Structure 1
Amino acid sequence: MRYQYNDQTVYYESAPCCDQQSTVYDLKGNILCHPEGGITGKGDGQCANFNKRRTNEQLVWQDPR
């Protein structure tokens, strides 16, 4: 998914399973944060407000499986 977050375009990749973390990337592919997942389910704490502050959701790719 593509979003606007903190005045920039970012890409969100959901975690494939269980205790893995989802990931938010910048336009260059650098990891910005992990908003949820992991053992606590709260990610890495670097973008705890991601789900509330993201806007302009746009699907850019979906696994057809």
Structure 2
Amino acid sequence: MMFDAPGSEHNAMLVTLYAVIVAYPLGLIAGIISSWIAYKRRKFKFAYILNAIPLLWVLPIVGLFVYANTMP
């Protein structure tokens, strides 16, 4: 549905949004692995911070949906 309109594959904002959504699993896996490594080294606060890496994807996407649904 993202690329339904003719010429939408050339829209840089749309392609960027698609790339961010597709890259989410990589960020999730990186956050999980790195937080486990920090936890194993008994750096608990750093593990919590690393565990929040996937929020870098979730917050902008949620913000975009909120913005899109509140536009007049």
Q: Say yes or no: TM over 0.5.
A: no
What TM-score do you get using the length of structure 1 for normalisation? 0.24
Greater strand fraction, Structure 1 or Structure 2: 1
What TM-score do you get using the length of structure 2 for normalisation? 0.22
Greater helix fraction, Structure 1 or Structure 2: 2
Rg larger in structure: 2
